[in-house]
Chains A and B, each alone.
Chain A
Amino acid sequence: MNQAIAPTIRVQNVRQNRLQRKLYIFGALAILLILASFFSDYLCPYDPYMQDMSLTKAAPSAQHWLGTDRYGRDMLSRVIAGSKTSIFSTLLLVGFITVFGSVIGIICAWAGKWVDTVLMRLSDMFLAFPGLVFALAVAAVLGGGVHNAIFALAAISWPKYARLARSQTLSLQSAAFMQAAKMAGSSTFKIIRKHVIPNISGPILVTAMLDIGTMMMELAGLSFLGLGAKPPIPEWGSMMSDTRNLLPTQPWVTLAPGFAIFFSVMVFNLLGDTVRDYLDPKNRR
């Protein structure tokens, strides 16, 4: 009997170890990206706004590793400075919608009745908007800019979290330990803080992790269309849009921000996948 079980356990151990290694690698990369976005001001070799008309569209060299754009601005500095807008805004956005959506979801599940109906219909409404159309409408009403792009994306993304938190809370409510907590004299607030949030945070966290990459893409996409960050603010999407006609002749000015988006989205997506697999009970011993 032991012989039959042993290989299975070993396979699980190997899988667990591999997962753990992946988690560390992608986690470290993600932290590196986040740190880079926080300290981008100190990491730039040149001022990302400084124009040097004598050195426009220069090819990568020892002085300018990624070359310069059409105004002679150092591309490496602009890509690094762009991380502040792209990564930091994305994390802010995902953090906000996760918390906001979850709070709405828990309120819906707890209050029930008309509160639930009203908030859920409202979330259906926002869910029904295609992201781009809503962002265009927001840009038309409030004007462009990073803030409004974030606002537009937040408005259409929170319902996902509200629905998740609501369904998770509802399924918890029938558990006997919730009734036991009520009979222990715990207030609603304490029950939510101590029993609901720890039990529903797993799936919500995984969804949020997987959303970082998507949101980064959408934010860059909006900027590319001119609905997000406005030049001269360095932002990867708008940088690509600015320089896209230079792609045949000076490809580095387009490829650098493009690669930055690709790399960041990939790291956060892989991290999200790994966290999901890691928390999956099937991969637990």
Chain B
Amino acid sequence: MDEILQVRHLKKIFSRRDGDDITAVDDVSFSLQKGEKLAIIGESGSGKTTVARLVARLLEPTAGEILLDGEDITSARGTALKKAYTRMQMVFQNPVDSFDPRCTLGDGISESLRNHGKSREQAAEMTKNLLALCGLGAEFAQRYPHEVSGGQCQRAAIARALAIEPELVILDEATSALDVTVQADILALLNRLQEDRGIAYLFICHDIALVQDFCDRIIVMHEGRIVETGTPDEVIDSPREEYTRNLIDSVLC
């Protein structure tokens, strides 16, 4: 099988001025097949969001390699990075914060299209289709982020991530800021898109119950390290690590 993403021995150390360095991510290696849905779960502070931001190249890794479809993007910049972003997109935790308050949702969604040579009319047409794909009417293109609900905004954020037709979408706690019913809607939308387009998801989440049905494989992180990996059934039914057991128990009770 083809691997869309390979991460090898990734390490991130945040150095602080007053001495102690923090190792947020320590020797993390995993790979993601094309069209696979991989979840990284763990408590807050476990380094899962840092992994997402490292993979998305929004942070510089201290050590390690990131390969996107076999291509090393660990230190890609400029044109190479721009090219990598046509294959990899991200949906952020806080939907409202992920759109410029001074731009309409349509501007945000069409930004990548415009940057890759689409005309204003083409981009507007594609934006309309993307909004429809994500269950929003065309009128949302003219709205500002503060004028829509969190769920609608996150749908628009997903539309933006899909605009450039990426093969990998990183979802950084994409449903955490939404209420439970909206969460289910968004997950259903992501599932449908995955079936239609065969996109691979890297799903960062702290809620083990949420990923149980949604993902093909789970990685459990604790204090910057991968402590357990396997299919949801394996991890949840027979956790090998004490930490994973605690994480599961905390959901069940």
Contact = CB atoms under 8 A, between A and B. Distances in A.
A195 B100 contact: yes
Contact of B97 (A175, A185, A195): A175
A183 interface: yes
Interface in B91-120: 92-94, 97-103, 108, 111-112, 115-116
Point out which of B94, B101, B111, B160 has the most chain A C-beta atoms below 10 A from its C-beta. Answer: B111
A177 interface: yes
A168 B164 CA distance: 30
Nearest to B110: A184
B115 A180 contact: no
B115 A176 contact: no
B35 to A, nearest CB: 21
Contacts of B88: 183
Interface of A is mostly: helix
A194 interface: yes
B85 A181 contact: no
A186 B94 contact: no
B58 A179 contact: yes
Contacts of B92: 176, 179-180
B105 to A, nearest CB: 11
A185 B98 contact: no
A15 interface: no
Given A184-B115, A186-B111, A186-B115, A177 B97 contact: yes
B82 interface: yes
Given A175-B97, A179-B92, A184 B102 contact: no
A7 interface: no
Nearest to A201: B102
Given A177-B108, A194-B103, A183 B98 contact: no
B86 A185 contact: yes
Contacts of B97: 175-177
Nearest to A172: B100
Point out which of A185, A190, A199 has the most chain B C-beta atoms below 10 A from its C-beta. Answer: A185
Contacts, number: 61
A198 interface: yes
B112 A184 contact: yes
Contacts of A21: none
A183 B56 contact: yes
A147 interface: no
Given A177-B100, A177-B108, A184 B160 contact: yes
Contact of B98 (A176, A190, A198): A176
Task: Place the interface of chain B in its size category.
Answer: 20 to 34
A181 B111 contact: yes
A121 interface: no
A16 to B, nearest CB: 18
A12 B16 CA distance: 46
Nearest to A188: B78
A225 B88 CA distance: 64
Interface string A189-209: 010001100110000000000
A185 B94 contact: no
Contacts of B24: none
B90 interface: yes
Contacts of B93: 176
B85 A185 contact: yes
B111 A184 contact: yes
Contact of B108 (A175, A179, A180): A180
A183 B157 CA distance: 12
A198 B100 CA distance: 10
A199 B89 contact: no
Interface of B: 56, 58, 82, 85-86, 88-90, 92-94, 97-103, 108, 111-112, 115-116, 157, 160, 164
Given A177-B99, A181-B100, 20 more contacts: A176-B92, A176-B93, A177-B100, A177-B101, A179-B90, A180-B92, A180-B99, A183-B89, A183-B90, A184-B85, A184-B111, A184-B112, A185-B85, A185-B86, A185-B115, A185-B116, A194-B111, A195-B102, A199-B101, A199-B102
Nearest 7 CB-CB pairings of A with B: A184-B112, A176-B98, A176-B92, A185-B115, A184-B111, A198-B102, A185-B82
